[in-house]
Amino acid sequence: MQTHEIVRRFTAHFEQAGHTPVPSASLILEDPQLLFVNAGMVQFKPYFLGDVPAPYPRATSIQKCVRTPDIDEVGKTTRHTTFFQMAGNFSFGDYFKRGAIEFAWSLITRSQDDGGYGFDPEIIWVTVYHDDDEAIALWKEIAGLPEERIQRRGGDDNYWDMGVPGPGGPCSEIYVDRGPEFGAEGGPEADEDRYLEIWNLVFMQDERGPLSPKKGHPPIGTLPHKNIDTGMGVERVAFLLQGVNNVYETDLVRPVIAKAEELSGKRYGAGGPEGEIDDVRFRVIADHARSSLMIIGDGVTPGNEGRGYVLRRLLRRVVRSARLLGITGPCLAEFAAVVRDAMSPTYPELATDFERISAVIRAEEDTFRATLTAGERIFSGAVEEARRTQRTVLPGDQAFQLHDTYGFPIDLTLEMAAEAGLTVDRERFTALMDSQRARAKADAAGRKVGFVDASVYRAVLDTHGATDFLGYQTCESESRVVGLLRDGATVPAAHEGEQVEVLLDRTPFYAEAGGQQADSGLLRGASFEVRVDDVQSPVAGLRVHRGVVTAGTVTLDAEVVAEVDRTRRSAISRAHTATHLVHAGVRGALGSTAAQAGSLNAPGRLRFDFTSPTGAVPPAALVEIEEEVNSVLQEDREIQTYETSIDEARTLGAMMLFGEKYGDRVRVVDMGDYSRELCGGTHVRRTGELGLVRVLSEASIGSGVRRVEALVGLDAFKHATTEHLLVNQLAEQLKARPEELPERINGIVERLRTAERDLEKHRADAVLASAGALAQQAEDLDGTALVAVTAPDGVGGNDLRTLAADVRGKLGERPGVVALFGVDGEKVSFVVATTKAARDNGIAAGKLIGEFAPAVGGRGGGKPDLAQGGGTDPSGVDAAIQKLRTAIRG
């Protein structure tokens, strides 16, 4: 049975049983605890947590999932994969254990001719939580399972919760016995390779406290509504029904291996030690190519942090595995096309958006291939050095160089080191990474509500309901205080000078979302005032006003007038509208591969990030985009906002952002045939209200991602005025018309460069002229001439090496050593050069450096004829020269 048919039958089975089919959520959801969606229930968490009421009593979905903790194990075993599909059925206070068991047993064992999967009931085993007698009785009654094929297991295996206080419950797992050729008798307790888990039924009935029942701690209560959460592994069912040995041989994965066989000329499953190693590489390619395509499809681009880092690591493991199989040319796009053809019947967006996806993949492969050869050469040299010196640890400095210079993720370096029988100094690597991050600017946007305890917010939501948002219609409203928090705890009152979080029954304040900054303003009561500095939505449906009590005392149930800072709101709204226009202009100029990857809408300015696999946007294109956007402003188009169904929005061609999860009803911001996007932000009524849009810059912020920054309205006008004044001043100083300035300035710059080159030549000549005098200062050390001095001020780097070589040449045929030190502030650089006669006597420059470098707090190395290094203690130069004399005499 093909995988798509397995999926179809699952959905049909539960749809016929009254379940609402729910499309797979994006792999990217706004959950601070998850990089990627890793289970079918994730999109339903708000319903299970009680944050919002479930819109249906029963649901079913086929959820795409990615789990990344076991990336290193992928390929080494046939059980670990990063991407998989989880089929699930869910009940929100509707049916419970009996219904879940009946639905699962019916689908699993019903004949294939009758729409089921046709598993033999005699090979089905189940496990239950150790004290769940009710589930055992139901399995006996409904399925007729004998006692010996029902096994009780502890909390680690058969209890489920979210890892935090909240809902949880016992679970029952369904296993298929693959037969004695796959392992020992005795059920799942004895061997989980032979007895393969295919489905987990979670009976969500408990309220978990701070300590988990998984570890033997009792629940703190019973849920008022019992729920069902199940997950069936589609790929596991597929390989069982297709008669193959593992997921890599199923119909949706094996084609990628076949493509790798075609490109490499090698055969999967060839056997032998080398064949087993190659099989690991084939499986890495198959799994990671599929995962990467699905992740890019949901809007992630390769980067150095978070999801982008995971994606980059997956793609680069594919490239390296292919290279080790003998595939020398670009290959990612070919693997991606195979994945697209296999997966698009279930996920058609992979086909419709393949141009963008393949562009991202090609750009990352080109970038990595350009550095892979050089990086592997550096790595091989480090391995040879470690073996030569009988070390088993690769220095953290070299691991950091591979990461920082050659783009090797540390995990790839660890993997390659393990293949070479080495470990890596992670402590040193981490220290260098931390130092680098400390020097970089920290972008704290989007982390304001990261890992908060949301229980206090949910309590307000349960009691008073969601905040009624009025901000689309007005900037002022009469409201009531329904919640007060200070330092994360509920309080009855807050006094003047205190930081406070205020929750209202309704509000005109916009909470930060979708790249739009939050509103600010005031909450005025009869005898108090609160200055609102920030507004967030830590729980869906609530808006939390954060600020300071500037007068009086605010109390629960107090009546307030909520006033948004209209000037700030208007400026932000203009920026947000301009972002939509810039987005449309960029896509018009660059094509559909230029997809939005982030934005910031602040008063008077905007930042728009987008994917651009082809690199920088040409300056001429930026000018065209700016002109086109301002022409739309001049047309003073009406901007309409309206709600519609998601299907109607697609029909209208509304732009939907990758990674966003949309409900059945969506809000459309419509600027006619120029821009039409789904958006929950605030906007102006007509494009003419923007006044002016000035594009300031365009630059890279990561591999394949560019950023445009622009000013809007009065800020744009002020910038234009300042720029005009500056141009006029330059024109006056250079006695040229404004249009002549580029040519005039280029001429001045070229003359400066010529003068600098002449100056450099004169300086080099002066340095070399001192070589003869230095050679005459050579002292005799038992037949070896030594020139060891501090070089003239300003001599360092290449000049120091050139001078050392020239002094060595003037020593003639006799044994000689030249050691020159350059001092620049708190830094010391040094170069050692030896004559051939000295080397014949066993004197090597690189070894000499090892003798004296510690005296200046440094290190270095090189070849016997020329070596160099540096240090941090200029006061030790004299001591270093003395150690050099001792080493030469020795």
β 423-424/393-394 pair status: parallel
Rounded Cα distance between 68 and 27, Å, is 12
Running DSSP on this structure, what letter comes out for residue 679? -
CB atoms within 10 A of CB 786: 22
Rounded Cα distance between 182 and 776, Å, is 83
Find the largest Cα–Cα distance for the chain: 105
CB atoms within 10 A of CB 479: 24
* H-state helical runs in 527-618: 566-590
Candidates 8, 30, 2; CA nearest to 662 is 30
| Residue partners of 868: CB distance under 8 A and separation at least 6 | 800, 801, 829, 830, 831, 832, 849, 860, 862
CB atoms within 10 A of CB 723: 11
Q: Is 679 annotated as a binding residue?
A: yes
For tokens 């009406």, name the residue: 638
- Angle, helix 254-264 to helix 272-297, in steps of 10 degrees: 120
Decide: residue 817, CB within 10 A, 0-12 exposed, 13-18 middle, 19+ buried: buried
Which amino acid appears at position 452 of this protein? Answer: V
Q: Where are the beta strands (DSSP E) in 753-865?
A: 779-781, 784-790, 816-824, 827-834, 859-862
The structure tokens listed for 198 are 């295919």
Q: Is 4 annotated as a binding residue?
A: no
Candidates 655, 612, 618; CA nearest to 302 is 612
Candidates 65, 81, 72, 83; CA nearest to 29 is 65
* H-state helical runs in 591-635: 619-634
User: DSSP for 646-664?
Assistant: HHHHHHTT-B--TT----S
- Of all helices (H) and strands (E), which one includes residue 262? helix 254-264
- Cα Rg of the chain (Å, integer): 34
CB atoms within 10 A of CB 601: 27
Q: Is 225 annotated as a binding residue?
A: no
The structure tokens listed for 502 are 């205020």
- Of all helices (H) and strands (E), which one includes residue 197? strand 195-208
Q: Is 576 annotated as a binding residue?
A: yes
User: DSSP for 395-432?
Assistant: -HHHHHHHHHHH---HHHHHHHHHHTT-EE-HHHHHHH
Candidates 597, 740, 747; CA nearest to 660 is 597
HEC profile of 537-554:
CCCCCCCEEEEEEEECEE
Instruction: For residue 89, list its beta bridge partners.
Output: 60
Contact present, 172 and 135 (Cβ < 8 Å): yes
Contact present, 95 and 58 (Cβ < 8 Å): yes
The structure tokens listed for 305 are 């942090």
Annotated binding site for Zn(2+): 576, 580, 679, 683
Annotated binding site: 576, 580, 679, 683
